[in-house]
A = this chain, B = another copy of it.
């Protein structure tokens, strides 16, 4: 199969920040995409259909790019990183399929969520199938260290989803509790995606720790900016409607901050829309107005900036290289999305 899945970011539009990473990983990502298409195939027709629905809608492929770039930055010359990167993307896709079922989402990457097209059962099972394929590929690569990192992440992600379920509708969630959720739900996979690079390249403990830290903090920053964008981003840019989190009654950092900083009357509003879930059409605007009054969106971006700074320092000790600066610029890209 020689088909290369078109990436959004290959459109050559001037996107400060992510372009260098896309360019440096383009060749390997071509191979990753071939594997993704190949391994999403099955004689059970429904499987490729559901999987392709998400795969073709082309996310940024940030996670597998992390794996490719970190392996390359560490001088890895084998081919194992390609399958590891594909595994990472499959783990991510599986999470999205399962998430949409749990969250009862309607849209994903600007398209109808798979669960609305094929139903919840298909979404759950195809997610499981992709997770199984991810593990098969990891085993094929044969690095026990990488298997440990990625299987550990898989367990943590699931734990994070359960944590989020338990914390759902709790408007009194503290920022620390919310950070623990996204640490597990989002940052753990970024962390693993980055750490398998130096690991497959046989780098020492401190270099693995540096990439792990880079991935973790990039993941936290990425998620917080996503949270902020859901209340202030542009629908076309986002690939999903602004206000999705709000309509789903999701607790994200802008809500946590606006709730904590608000008056009793404000909290009555939040409890109605989040806990009771009785959302009127004009409520989103009211929510954004409250967030802006208390600087909740700006400070969410500020918190993301903090984690971005930590991510940058994690990679600082490595000798300057094109890969390194591409990864550092990707941090800026993730944060500048918010503007």
Binding site for B on A (CB under 8 A): 170, 172, 174-177, 206, 209-210, 212-213, 216-217, 256-257, 259-261, 267, 299, 302-303, 306, 309-310, 313-314, 316-317
Check A213–B317 contact: CB distance below 8 A: no
Q: Contact: A216 with B176, CB < 8 Å? A: yes
Interface pair A261/B316, CB less than 8 Å apart: yes
Report whether A174 and B209 are in contact in the complex, using a CB–CB cutoff of 8 Å.
Answer: yes
Contact A310 B175 (CB under 8 A): yes
- Looking at the complex, which one of B260, B303, B313 makes contact with A257 (CB distance below 8 Å)? B313
Collect the chain B residues with CB atoms within 8 Å of residue A316's CB. Answer: 260-261
Partner of A213, one of B175, B259, B303, B306: B175
CB neighbours (8 Å) of A259 from chain B are: 317
Across-interface contacts of A217 in B (CB, < 8 A): 176
Q: From residue A176, how far is it (CB to closest CB) to chain B in Å?
A: 4
Q: Can you add 9 more A-B contacts, CB < 8 Å, to A176-B212, A259-B317?
A: A170-B206, A172-B209, A174-B209, A175-B213, A176-B213, A176-B310, A257-B313, A260-B313, A260-B317
Instruction: Determine how close the nearest CB of chain B comes to the CB of A171; give it in whole angstroms.
Output: 9
Residues of chain B contacted by A176 (CB below 8 angstroms): 209, 212-213, 216-217, 310, 314
A-B contact pairs, 12 of them (CB 8 A): A172-B206, A172-B210, A174-B206, A174-B213, A175-B213, A176-B209, A176-B213, A176-B216, A177-B209, A256-B313, A261-B316, A306-B306
**A317 and B209 in contact, given A299-B309, A303-B306 (Cβ under 8 angstroms):** no
CB distance from A331 to the nearest CB of B (A): 14
Chain B residues within an 8 Å CB radius of A257:
313
Given the interface pairs A306-B303, A309-B299, the reply to whether A314 lies near B174 with Cβ below 8 Å is yes
Residue of B nearest to A313 (CB): B260
CB distance from A219 to the nearest CB of B (A): 12
From B174, B209, B306, B309, A210 is in contact (CB under 8 Å) with: B174
Chain B nearest Cβ from A32, distance in angstroms: 27
> Could you tell me the distance between the alpha carbons of A313 and B300 in the complex, rounded to whole angstroms?
12
Residues of B within 8 A of A299 (CB): 309
* Known contacts A170-B206, A206-B170; is-contact A175 B314 (Cβ 8 Å): yes
Which B residues touch A303, using CB under 8 A? 306, 309-310
| CB neighbours of A212 from chain B (8 A) | 174, 176
Name the distance in Å between A304's Cβ and chain B's nearest Cβ: 11
Interface-centre pick from A174, A303, A310 (highest chain B CB count, 10 A): A174
Cβ–Cβ < 8 Å partners of A177 in chain B? 209, 213
A212 to B261, CA, bound (A): 18
Complex partner residue of A175 from B172, B261, B313, CB under 8 angstroms: B313
